[in-house]
Copies of this chain bind each other. A is one copy, B any other.
Amino acid sequence: MKACGLIVEYNPYHNGHHYHFQQAKQITDSDCVIAVMSGNFLQRGEPAIIDKFSRAKIAVEQGIDLIVELPYYYAVQHSELFAKGAINILDSLQVDSICFGSEHGDIQDFTQMYQLINTNQEEYDTYLKDALKSGHSYPKANELAFIKIGGNTLSIDFTKPNNILGFQYIKNIYDLHSKIEPYTIKRIKNDYHDKEINDSIASATSIRKHLLHKKEEDIKKAVPNNTREIIENYQEKYGSWHEWGIYFPILKYRILTMSNEELKAVHGMKEGLENRIIEKAREASDFEELMDLIKTKRYTWTSLQRIFANILTNTKKITIEELVNKEELPGIRVLAMSSTGQQWLNQNKKQIKTCIYTSNKKPYPLQALDDRIDHAYYSILAPTIQQKLINQSYQKPIFKTPE
């Protein structure tokens, strides 16, 4: 049996994701597809529109065989740590390949680029640092540094988010001396930031916008039926989807009851930013206004959102540093699996050195930390719903019985 790994957020799972999953399975000739998925908070510092178990349920029903959680301290990070966490987990799970979507679409260019940088690492890092200091954006600085070391023949556009992530996947695979074989598929049609749903392939961003503006009808053509059903039920059963706007009163309360010292200790907080955040949080009437008041060229939308996620979840620099610098993963939490996924875990039991949490008998070592993250995420729901959702973390993963 061969397994292919995917690195996903499924926020929410749509036809584009499904196309990618099917293509990945086919081109890697795999029997089993394993997805490592961000939990309740996502890479760009946003709460996922519906919780991690609901998103995992959709995915397993759509045919993904094993969905494991990318823990918060890797998920809500810049691309380097996000990729490090995801590749570590997939490598631990013994996947034979990964297949990522990218705007570029040619795996050769990614690996060649890695090799060129790797052999000129010091020089590259110096150029990169200088370019960042001169005020260039992270993608632009990378591009400039890359050209400096002779990389002008490569054509990967580093202003594109999935190219940046893809490069980090490659880098982590090589740095880890992993046996994983990387593949990439060119992302089709829609752009990450597209706002409209024009046909059956639409971006997750546009789908969320349509949901939040009560245009549920429009998303029908862009997502599988079970996504639509689960999302619609979620709002009905739980009262609300999750988006920053709804967390604003709690976030504002939290910022304004923290001392400067406490804000400084928040993971991702930059020197002096804490004063600006306190000042603007007093003025702001909603989340968009808060972001508009604070953001500058230096403080990007994404980095601010991550900081706000860390404030909301009470995530400190010291905790994150301790976790991401650990040699070994503390464990892997399975959110959902099919019988094929279960078979994969059984067959590779001896090779998998990391503890796999698939049962309520063995407590997950970072349970208390995860609970705090999840409690922050569930805090906008009614108390009884909150308890129900937290309890799910103490139960067995979602299991899809064979048809």
Which residues of A approach B to under 8 Å, CB–CB?
A: 248-250, 252-254, 256-260, 262, 282-286, 312-314, 368, 371-372, 375-376, 379, 382-384, 386-387, 390
Contact = CB atoms under 8 A, between A and B. Distances in A.
Given A257-B314, A257-B375, A259-B372, A390 B282 contact: yes
Nearest to A379: B253
A340 B260 CA distance: 40
Nearest to A249: B379
Contacts of A254: 254
Contacts of A376: 253, 256-257
21 contacts: A248-B383, A249-B250, A250-B253, A252-B379, A252-B383, A253-B375, A256-B372, A256-B375, A256-B376, A257-B312, A257-B313, A257-B314, A257-B375, A257-B379, A259-B314, A262-B314, A282-B386, A283-B387, A284-B383, A285-B383, A286-B383
Nearest to A319: B259
Nearest to A289: B383
Nearest to A286: B383
A261 to B, nearest CB: 11
A323 to B, nearest CB: 14
Each complex incorporates copies of this chain amounting to 2
Nearest to A391: B282
B282 A387 contact: yes
A260 B369 CA distance: 11
Contacts of A258: 314, 372
A384 B285 contact: yes
A364 B335 CA distance: 52
Nearest to A372: B257
Contacts of A249: 250, 379, 383
A262 B315 CA distance: 12
Contacts of A379: 249, 252-253, 256-257
A85 to B, nearest CB: 22
A263 to B, nearest CB: 11
- The listed residue with most B CB atoms (<10 A of its CB), out of A257, A258, A283, A284, is A257
Given A249-B383, A253-B375, A282-B390, 7 more contacts: A252-B379, A256-B372, A257-B312, A257-B313, A257-B376, A259-B314, A283-B387
Specify which of A258, A286, A314 lies most central, judged by the most chain B CB atoms within 10 Å of its CB: A314
Contact of A371 (B256, B384, B387): B256
A366 to B, nearest CB: 12
Nearest to A248: B383
Contacts of A257: 312-314, 372, 375-376, 379
Nearest to A262: B314
A32 to B, nearest CB: 36
Nearest to A285: B383
A372 B253 CA distance: 9
Nearest to A373: B257
Nearest to A284: B383
Nearest to A253: B379
Contacts of A387: 282-283
Nearest to A371: B256
A380 to B, nearest CB: 8
A284 B382 CA distance: 11
A371 B390 CA distance: 33
A58 to B, nearest CB: 27
Complex A-B, nearest 9 residue pairs according to Cβ-Cβ distance, in ascending order: A256-B375, A253-B379, A285-B383, A257-B314, A257-B372, A257-B376, A257-B375, A250-B253, A285-B384
A57 B73 CA distance: 49
A355 to B, nearest CB: 23
Instruction: Please indicate which of the listed interface residues A249, A262, A372, A384 has the most CB atoms of chain B within 10 Å of its own CB.
Output: A249
* Residue picked from A253, A283, A312, A384, most chain B C-beta under 10 Å: A253
